[in-house]
Amino acid sequence: MPASPTLLLAWLALAEPAPAPAAAPAPAADVYALDDAAFVAQAQRDLEALQRHAEGMRRLEEDMGRARALYTQARAVPYTPDQKQRLVSTWAAFFDYFVSVEVIRQRYWEFLKAPAPTQPIKHGWGFLLTHGALTTELARGLTFVDLAGGRPQLEVLLDEPSPEYGLPARTFARFREKVVHVGTATQLFTGDGYKEQLRPVFADSGAMGQPRVTWLFQEMKDNSRVARGKLARRGAPLFVQAAAGVTQDSTLRAIFPVQKAVAEWMGDTRVHRLGKPLITREQVDAVLARMEPGDIVLARQNWFLSNIGLPGFWPHAELYVGTPAQLSAAFDADPDVRAWVATLPGGGATFSEHLAHAFPAKWAEYSGQDAHGDAIRIIESISEGVSFTGPEHGLHVDYLGVLRPRLSKRDKALAILRAFTFQGRPYDFNFDFFSDQTLVCTELVWKSYAPAQDMKGLAIPLVDVAGRRTLPANEIVRVFDREFGQPEHQLDFVAFLDGREGSGDAVAANAEAFRYSYRRLKWDIAQE
């Protein structure tokens, strides 16, 4: 069935882009410039991410429901510091998921550039992702607004700037304006109608038989029902008060706090700067020459953020183990390490021999090369699970920080042994630090260096985020900053490569710059 001209015109009217400010970066080529195979591969990755983000938002809703008394607390009863911390961390995590969904929505926004009759694959997938993201934003966003809105004490708290959680001033006010905007509500209604007329196109696109598409259709249906119900209760006043905004407010395409026209650039960069980090490989190699087994790596790739739902500029942490030769040189001749290894079951006179005997399959994988022909040097927890990776994956990023624990060789060897034990376990999308069966990136580092009776380790405290004890990567940098210059500091500075998105490169920065880095906003693109 051909698409309705009326609905197409409605989408076109709503999709009219806002003019870009002079200071905004030039947009990159959009996702629709990819060939069909690359487009579908990217769409499937984004659908998987959308599902994770939607499930994360639902988990937060459940947590908020259990703490409903906190959200409805009388204005005359001031919040305690612990209550404030829980409220702000929950809001920051929710907003993080919301912005991540918005990135997906904007990436596929211009599906009308791929006409259904001639490009059904791009048209069908593009519509599904942009509308699926929109319904998620509205259903979850309106639910949050219903719970938190209209409560002056809470609104003031959520609107206060909170750099440690990546929140600029008035974030909640602008969020609320978006999710109850007449324009986004109209997109919901027109999109729901257009979806029903596109079923033949979805079939032609090949999307109907793909994993997670069944989930997406049910998700859109459920989200639309929730959003429509909440919008209906707001009634005509919403449209009367906001009617002028359709012509006066040109921000429908852009999500705050990102600048106008930069959000779409952000999404495009995530596709088209793939494999082109701000840090050069030459810079990576220079840092590698200064690294030692046991070092802790902090990494960030703009718009490839792991740990969505956790606050902070630094999203990822890794454990550097070096090559097998470097590992052997660092530990095998150390008397303390050799004495400790002699007490371990599994055989081997040296530390590297013990790893090879105790973990033969893992040692064989670690002793090999990555897909780029580089020697394995890193253990990190990524979406595929706790993995051995090389410098091209773990270090060739947009921002890179390296810290060295001030511990004995024996403690560092024990940490690496623990990491080998965890290798192969799944990634922990629930950020549950009290289970060893799945691990998030910082959890791998934290548990590898956790103090024990036979190990001094690192005392890095967990923090509460949305009612859960966890460890954003930012906290590792915060501990370094707090202890810097103190006699008992636990971490030494090794290197900081500071990305510059505007100029497309990175510069070597000092310890002072690294100390400040965790205060940067997570979604900031100026990056100082």
pLDDT tens, 279-320?
Answer: 999 999 999 999 999 999 999 987 655 567 677 889 899 999
**pTM, full prediction:** 0.72
For 65, 99, 150, 465, 524, the CA distances from 258, given in Å and listed in that order, are: 29, 9, 25, 23, 7
Which residues, 6+ apart, have CB-to-CB distance to 405 below 8 Å? 294, 295, 296, 411, 412, 415, 449, 458, 490, 491, 492
Task: Give the mean model confidence (pLDDT) for residues 90-112.
Answer: 86
Task: Please confirm whether the linkage preceding 152 is cis (ω < 30° from 0).
Answer: no
pLDDT at 109: 85
For 25, 232, 317, 403, the CA distances from 489, given in Å and listed in that order, are: 41, 57, 19, 12
Domains of the chain as residue ranges with CATH: 5-19+29-270 (no CATH), 281-517 (3.90.1720.10)
Would the pLDDT of 321 be above 50? yes
The alpha helices in 243-368, defined as continuous H runs, are 245-248, 262-272, 281-288, 324-331, 335-341, 351-358, 360-366
Least confident of 112-116, 223-227, 274-278: 274-278
What's the pLDDT tens digit per position in 462-489? 888 777 788 889 999 999 999 999 999 9
How sure is the predictor about 376, in pLDDT bands with cuts at 50, 70 and 90? very high
Would the pLDDT of 461 be above 80? yes
Which amino acid would we find at residue 223? Answer: N
Which residues, 6+ apart, have CB-to-CB distance to 283 below 8 Å? 497, 506, 508
Task: Give the mean model confidence (pLDDT) for residues 193-217.
Answer: 83
What's the pLDDT tens digit per position in 61-83? 998 999 999 999 888 899 998 89
**H/E run at residue 253:** none
What pairs with residue 500 in β-bridges?
A: 505
Would the pLDDT of 148 be above 60? yes
pLDDT at 110: 84
Which amino acid would we find at residue 496? Answer: F
Contact 138, 173 (CB under 8 A): no
Spatial CA neighbour of 522 closest among 199, 221, 225, 92: 92
Return the percentage of the chain with pLDDT > 90, whole number. 47
**H/E run at residue 492:** strand 491-500
Which residues, 6+ apart, have CB-to-CB distance to 235 below 8 Å? none
pLDDT at 275: 57
- Please work out, in degrees rounded to the nearest 5, the angle formed at the alpha carbon of residue 257 by the alpha carbons of 255 and 258: 70
Would the pLDDT of 329 be above 90? yes
How sure is the predictor about 374, in pLDDT bands with cuts at 50, 70 and 90? very high
What is the average pLDDT value for the chain, to the nearest integer?
82
Would the pLDDT of 249 be above 70? no
Contact 355, 347 (CB under 8 A): no
What pairs with residue 387 in β-bridges?
A: 380
Enter the tokens of residue 87.
């409220």
What b/e string do you get for 430-444 counting C-beta neighbours within 10 Å, with b at 16 or more? ebbbeeeebbbbbbb
pLDDT at 261: 32
Cα–Cα distance, 351 to 223 (Å, whole number) = 54
How sure is the predictor about 389, in pLDDT bands with cuts at 50, 70 and 90? very high
94 or 28, which is more confident: 94
Would the pLDDT of 15 be above 70? no
Highest-pLDDT range among 22-36, 267-281, 498-512? 498-512
Enter the tokens of residue 271.
């596709």
How sure is the predictor about 18, in pLDDT bands with cuts at 50, 70 and 90? very low
Least confident of 234-248, 292-306, 368-382: 234-248
Cα–Cα distance, 409 to 352 (Å, whole number) = 13
What's the N-to-C CA distance of the chain in angstroms?
Answer: 51
Task: Give the mean model confidence (pLDDT) for residues 89-109.
Answer: 87
What pairs with residue 296 in β-bridges?
A: 319, 403
pLDDT at 406: 98
Spatial CA neighbour of 95 closest among 16, 33, 176: 176
Residue with tokens 């009290």: 434
pLDDT at 303: 61
How sure is the predictor about 115, in pLDDT bands with cuts at 50, 70 and 90? confident
What's the pLDDT tens digit per position in 417-457? 999 999 998 877 666 677 777 777 889 999 999 999 989 99
**H/E run at residue 200:** helix 199-205
pLDDT at 25: 31
pLDDT at 273: 52
pLDDT at 3: 41
pLDDT at 26: 30
How sure is the predictor about 201, in pLDDT bands with cuts at 50, 70 and 90? confident
For 70, 85, 402, 517, the CA distances from 74, given in Å and listed in that order, are: 9, 18, 46, 37
Residue with tokens 């100026």: 526
Least confident of 243-252, 288-297, 328-337, 507-516: 243-252
pLDDT at 132: 95
Q: Read off the DSSP letter of residue 220.
A: H
Spatial CA neighbour of 309 closest among 159, 467, 448: 467
Enter the tokens of residue 242.
């906001």
